[in-house]
Chains A and B, each alone.
Chain A
Amino acid sequence: MSSVYDNYELVIGLEIHAQILTRTKAFSSDPAEYGALPNHNVSTISLGHPGTLPKHNEAAIAKAITLGLACHSEIRKENQYARKNYFYADLPKGYQITQDKTPICSGGYVRVKFIDESTKDIELTRIHMEEDSGKSIHDLDLHNSLIDYNRAGTPLVEIVTEPVIRSGEEAGLFVTEIRKLVRYLDICDGNMEEGSLRCDANISVRLKGATEFGTKVEVKNMNSISNVRKAIEFETTRQIDAIENGETIVQETRSYDALKGNTFSMRAKELVNDYRYFPEPDLPPLIVTEETIQQLKESMPKLPEELFENFRNEYGLNAYDAGVLTETKELADLYLGITEHTENYKAAANWVMGVIKAWLNKEALDVDDFHVPPSRIGALISLVDEGKVSNAIAEQRIFPALLDEPDKEPLQIAQELNVIQSSDESFLEELADEAIAAFPDKVEAYKNGKTGLLGLFMGELMKKSRGKADPKVASEILKRKLEG
Chain B
Amino acid sequence: METLSLSSLQEQVKSGSTDCRQVVSRFLRRIEEKKHLNAFLEVYDQEALDRADEITEKLRAGTAGPLGGLVIGLKDNICYAGHHVSASSRILEGFESLYNATVTQRLLDADAIIIGRLNCDEFAMGASNENSAYGPVLNDADNTKVPGGSSGGSAVAVQAGLCMATLGSDTGGSIRQPSSFTGTFGMKPTYGRVSRYGLLAYASSFDQIGPITNNVDEMAAILEVISGDDGMDATVSDKAVPKYSQMTASEGSRNIAYIRDCIESEGIDPDVKAHTLKMVEKLRAEGHTVEAVDFPFLDFMVPCYYVLTTAEASSNLSRYSGLMYGYRSKDAHDLESTFKLSRSEAFGEEVQRRIMTGTFVLSSDHYDAYYTKAQKVRRVIKDRTAELLNKYDFILLPTTPTPAFSLDEKADDPIAMYLADIFTVQAPLAGVPAISIPTGTHSSGLPFGIQLMANSFEEAQLLSFSKYVYELGTK
Contact = CB atoms under 8 A, between A and B. Distances in A.
Contacts of B92: 50
B234 A55 contact: yes
B101 to A, nearest CB: 6
Contacts of B204: 281-282
Given A274-B363, A281-B205, A50 B315 contact: no
Contacts of A92: 319, 324
A89 B234 contact: no
Contacts of A95: 315, 318
A320 B127 CA distance: 74
B124 interface: no
B16 interface: no
A88 B319 CA distance: 10
A144 to B, nearest CB: 11
A284 to B, nearest CB: 6
Interface in A49-72: 49-56
Contacts of A52: 197-198
B97 A276 contact: no
Interface string B200-241: 110111000000000000000000000000011111000000
A42 to B, nearest CB: 11
Contacts of B335: 88-89, 145
A284 B199 contact: no
Nearest to A145: B335
A278 B197 contact: no
A274 B365 CA distance: 10
A51 B98 contact: no
Given A87-B339, A281-B204, A53 B315 contact: no
Nearest to B358: A276
A282 B85 CA distance: 21
Contacts of B232: 53, 55
B85 A50 contact: yes
A51 B364 contact: no
Interface in B99-116: 99, 101
B371 interface: yes
A183 to B, nearest CB: 31
A92 B323 CA distance: 9
A53 B196 contact: yes
A335 B339 CA distance: 57
Nearest to A84: B315
Contacts of B198: 51-52
Contact of B315 (A47, A54, A83, A89): A83
Residue among A47, A52, A53, A55 with the highest chain B CB neighbour number at 10 A: A53
A276 B359 contact: yes
B79 interface: yes
A94 B318 contact: yes
B30 to A, nearest CB: 29
Given A83-B315, A89-B323, A276-B359, A53 B200 contact: no
Interface in B355-389: 359, 362-364, 367, 371
Interface in B14-54: none
B235 A85 contact: no
A278 B318 contact: no
B359 A51 contact: no
A406 interface: no
B205 to A, nearest CB: 4
A282 B234 contact: yes
Contacts of B324: 47-48, 92
A289 interface: no
Contacts of B323: 89
Contacts of A89: 323, 335
A242 B311 CA distance: 42
Interface in A373-430: none
B88 interface: no
Interface string A258-275: 000000000000000010
B426 interface: no
Contacts of B234: 53-56, 282-284
Nearest to B78: A51
A133 to B, nearest CB: 13
Contact of B97 (A50, A93, A278): A50
Interface of A: 44, 47-56, 83, 85, 87-89, 92-95, 145, 274, 276-278, 281-284
27 contacts: A48-B324, A50-B85, A50-B320, A51-B78, A51-B97, A51-B197, A51-B199, A51-B200, A52-B197, A53-B235, A54-B234, A55-B232, A55-B234, A56-B234, A83-B315, A85-B314, A85-B362, A89-B323, A93-B319, A94-B315, A94-B318, A94-B321, A276-B314, A276-B367, A278-B367, A278-B371, A281-B235
Given A276-B362, A281-B235, A283-B235, 6 more contacts: A48-B319, A48-B324, A49-B325, A56-B234, A83-B315, A89-B323
Interface of B: 77-79, 85, 87, 92, 95, 97-99, 101, 196-201, 203-205, 231-235, 311-312, 314-315, 317-321, 323-325, 335, 339, 359, 362-364, 367, 371
